[in-house]
């Protein structure tokens, strides 16, 4: 079963009311975590979702694996709404789509031997006789680079290093032969030299198993390494989406530009111009009608306060949602020509030399 995952106008809001407030008929308050997100991930494709903490990227991941249900909109896989699946169809979906979490130590039961954790999905989905569990676990551990697998089967998570435990978690996600892996910051907790190994493993698995992948990160450098396409999320919305290199090298949305500008690049030293975001972040409980990035945007205009921008095409397969649409920036050259607040430029761009 190879299919396309499609999100259509998916929204997730949480009610902020206490039951007491509702009793007294106070105006209800909602927190908008994900708002109108649409994208599709086809077979053998990898999509990166990038944004700062609180941008809604992890909620999106949980909606996709049905750990949460959307308040609005539809998530479909192979044309079927995943939230209407039940019984065998739901089990089939769960087999096809697996998730890898950020902290592998939280994701594995500390009291279970590695081979039991890895083979547990087989027993849940009644995939094979229990006598085969150990052998299947051994095979998949080999595949994720924990070799010889015999050394890891009978260990507990605490006996392994962070990189090894994350590989165990990846092995568990793979044992049901999924089509799509949702990886939620799988390398951000890992040590530098180990992180590279896990990134290469994910790349290799994608190639070998023709996996689709949704890779969530706040870091453009890992996204560039793993993903064909990238969606940039800000305050619950996708503000820019397109082929990864296009989005990074010809970024159009001011938020994408700020995210890239915030990344230290070795060797650039203090020559790198800082674009410091000042102003307030969007409050996810407010009903602000305008652009949710306006509060921090150096290019803000009046229209930004009243009308929410929608995604428009800026190049082939490349979309961005901005009224002003900052000129395309390429690496190393930040444009400031459209800065509407020249007198505050000192605060916004500092060259701390």
303-342: which residues touch other proteins (CB under 8 A)?
331-332
- Judge contact between 33 and 284, C-beta under 8 A: yes
Burial letters for 84-120: b for 16+ Cβ neighbours within 10 Å, e otherwise? ebeeeeeebbbbbbbbbbbbbeebbeeeebbbbbbbb
- Find the part of the chain contacting other proteins (CB under 8 A) among 12-20, 87-95, 261-269, 300-308: 261-269
Contact with other proteins (CB under 8 A) among 17, 52, 62, 142: 52
264 scored as a contact of other proteins (CB under 8 A): yes
**CB nearer other proteins, residue 86 or residue 353:** 353
Instruction: For the CB of residue 246, give the shortest distance to other proteins in the complex, in Å.
Output: 13
265 scored as a contact of other proteins (CB under 8 A): yes
Strand pairing partners for 236? none
79 scored as a contact of other proteins (CB under 8 A): no
225 scored as a contact of other proteins (CB under 8 A): yes
> What would the x/- binding string for other proteins be over residues 168 to 207, using CB under 8 A?
-----------------------xxxxxxx-xx-------
**CB nearer other proteins, residue 113 or residue 261:** 261
Instruction: For the CB of residue 292, give the shortest distance to other proteins in the complex, in Å.
Output: 15
87 scored as a contact of other proteins (CB under 8 A): no
Instruction: For the CB of residue 32, give the shortest distance to other proteins in the complex, in Å.
Output: 18
Contact with other proteins (CB under 8 A) among 17, 44, 62, 219: 219
Nearest to 237 by CA among 4, 6, 12: 12
Instruction: For the CB of residue 54, give the shortest distance to other proteins in the complex, in Å.
Output: 9
**CB nearer other proteins, residue 95 or residue 282:** 282
352 scored as a contact of other proteins (CB under 8 A): yes
Task: Categorise residue 54: left if φ over 0, alpha if ψ from -120 to 50, beta otherwise.
Answer: left
User: How many residues form the binding site for other proteins (CB under 8 A)?
Assistant: 48
Max CA pair span of the chain? 73
Q: In this structure, what is the dihedral angle of CA atoms 268, 274, 277, 278, given to the nearest 10 degrees? A: 150
Q: How many CB atoms lie within 10 A of CB 149?
A: 22
- 6: phi then psi, degrees, rounded to nearest 5: -130, 130
* Helix residue spans in 239-286 (DSSP H): 244-249, 254-261
**CB nearer other proteins, residue 52 or residue 62:** 52
Cα–Cα distances (Å) from 290 to 36, 41, 199, in that order, read 15, 29, 38
350 scored as a contact of other proteins (CB under 8 A): yes
Q: Is 181 exposed, middle or buried (0-12, 13-18, 19+ CB in 10 A)?
A: buried
- Judge contact between 104 and 169, C-beta under 8 A: yes
CA dist., res. 350 & res. 307, Å (int): 31
> Cα Rg for the chain, rounded, in angstroms?
22
Q: Which two tokens stand for residue 126?
A: 């009644």
Instruction: For the CB of residue 74, give the shortest distance to other proteins in the complex, in Å.
Output: 30
128 scored as a contact of other proteins (CB under 8 A): no
Burial letters for 241-263: b for 16+ Cβ neighbours within 10 Å, e otherwise? bbbbebbbebbbbbbbbbbbbee
**CB nearer other proteins, residue 1 or residue 265:** 265
3 state SS of 36: strand
- Find the part of the chain contacting other proteins (CB under 8 A) among 1-9, 131-139, 171-179, 215-223: 215-223
**CB nearer other proteins, residue 25 or residue 267:** 267
Contact with other proteins (CB under 8 A) among 267, 337, 342, 343: 267
31 scored as a contact of other proteins (CB under 8 A): no
The residue ranges that bind other proteins (CB under 8 A) are 52-53, 161-164, 191-197, 199-200, 218-225, 245, 248, 258-272, 274, 276-277, 331-332, 350, 352-353
């Amino acid at each position: 079963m190879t299919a396309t995952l499609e999100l259509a106008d998916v929204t997730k809001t949480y009610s902020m009311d206490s039951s007491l407030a509702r009793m007294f008929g106070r105006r209800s308050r909602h927190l908008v975590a994900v708002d109108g997100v649409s994208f599709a991930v086809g077979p053998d494709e990898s999509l990166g979702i990038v944004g700062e903490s609180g941008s809604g990227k992890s909620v999106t991941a949980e909606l996709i694996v049905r750990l949460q249900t959307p308040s609005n909109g539809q998530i479909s896989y192979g044309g079927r709404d995943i939230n209407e699946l039940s019984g065998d169809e739901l089990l089939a979906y769960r087999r096809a789509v697996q998730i890898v979490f950020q902290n592998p130590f939280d994701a594995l039961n500390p009291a279970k031997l590695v081979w039991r954790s890895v083979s547990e999905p087989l027993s849940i989905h009644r995939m094979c006789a229990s006598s085969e569990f150990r052998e299947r676990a051994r095979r998949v551990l080999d595949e994720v680079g924990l070799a010889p697998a015999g050394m890891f089967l009978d260990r507990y998570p605490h006996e392994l290093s962070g990189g090894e435990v994350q590989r165990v978690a990846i092995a568990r996600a793979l044992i049901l032969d999924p089509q799509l892996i949702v990886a939620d910051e799988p390398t951000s907790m890992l040590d530098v030299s180990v992180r590279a190994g896990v990134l290469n493993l994910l790349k290799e698995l994608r190639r070998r198993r023709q996996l689709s992948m949704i890779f969530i990160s706040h870091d453009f450098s890992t996204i560039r390494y793993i993903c064909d396409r990238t969606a940039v999320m800000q305050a619950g919305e996708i503000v820019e989406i397109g082929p990864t290199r296009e989005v990074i090298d010809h970024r159009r949305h001011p938020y994408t530009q700020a995210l890239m500008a915030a990344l230290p690049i070795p060797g650039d030293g203090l020559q790198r111009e800082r674009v410091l975001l000042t102003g307030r972040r969007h409050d996810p409980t407010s009903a602000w009608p305008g652009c949710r990035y306006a509060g921090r945007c150096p290019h803000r205009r009046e229209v930004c306060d009243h009308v929410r921008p929608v995604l428009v095409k800026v190049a082939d397969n490349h979309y961005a949602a901005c009224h002003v649409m900052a000129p395309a920036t390429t690496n190393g050259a930040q444009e400031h020509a459209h800065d509407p607040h020249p007198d505050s430029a000192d605060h916004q761009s500092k060259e701390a030399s």
